Structure 1
């Protein structure tokens, strides 16, 4: 497995544990749709939350949130709708969040969480 894949998988695990510590129920991870993948699908209260996880070993290539472009958000919204159709999820509130995981390979990771980015 390439370092990028290892870092990404580790970041998703850190993000899932972080969300669970906040009371989120993880209902799906790495769900593959026709146009991409949802990193984490969770429920928090009455809201289904689609979480994009961006992991970086450091800030040398910019902050992870900088990778969330309008095009990326549009793709996440389409994937969220596809997930809802594919799982027959009851209609209700939905939200897209982004979790940035910075570092973590050689020490503790820094986690930042943006709620409701779209």
Structure 2
């Protein structure tokens, strides 16, 4: 039987692995990394990448089943994510003229990652 600290560590390591997989997947699609694990304003963004004139703030979700990953981005998560995106943008004046998007990459065992562009609306006010 796993203890709570062991389960937390396993979950933490699975999340890091999923972020690496998602980043490699996005690199193959032509995205350029700008930041990893960006935390500010009480929120965290797993990956910030850019392709062309679009800056994508990416939430990575790793779940045993793809359907579970799809439902894992809650309203609370979206609000915190958006706060962190606003904080990042306030520190990056060059990004003001770019298109901003909140993407998600879902990672499940023995499946290709799934990249969902504009997975949810960024709350920019």
- Alpha-carbon offset, residue 109 of structure 1: 4.3
Runs of 4+ in 1 over 2 A off after TM superposition: 86-90
Query: Which segments of 5 or more consecutive residues in structure 1 lack a partner in the other structure?
Result: none
Match of 1:101 in 2: 107
Match of 1:10 in 2: 17
Query: In structure 2, how many angstroms separate the alpha carbons of the residues matched to 1:109 and 1:83?
Result: 31
- Alpha-carbon offset, residue 87 of structure 1: 3.1
Query: In structure 2, how many angstroms separate the alpha carbons of the residues matched to 1:37 and 1:78?
Result: 9
Match of 1:65 in 2: 70
Match of 1:39 in 2: 46
Between Structure 1 and Structure 2, whose CA radius of gyration is higher?
2
Q: Which has the higher helix share?
A: 2
Query: In structure 2, how many angstroms separate the alpha carbons of the residues matched to 1:89 and 1:8?
Result: 30
- Alpha-carbon offset, residue 114 of structure 1: 0.9
Query: In structure 2, how many angstroms separate the alpha carbons of the residues matched to 1:89 and 1:68?
Result: 29
Query: In structure 2, how many angstroms separate the alpha carbons of the residues matched to 1:22 and 1:47?
Result: 13
- Native 8 Å contact 2:41 2:83 kept in 1: no
Query: In structure 1, how many angstroms separate the alpha carbons of the residues matched to 2:26 and 2:94?
Result: 20
TM-score by length of 1: 0.86
TM-score by length of 2: 0.81
Matched residue pairs, number?
112
1:43 is paired with a residue of what secondary structure?
A: strand
Q: Which shifted more, 82-91 or 10-19?
A: 82-91
2:22 is paired with a residue of what secondary structure?
A: helix
Query: Which segments of 5 or more consecutive residues in structure 2 lack a partner in the other structure?
Result: 1-5
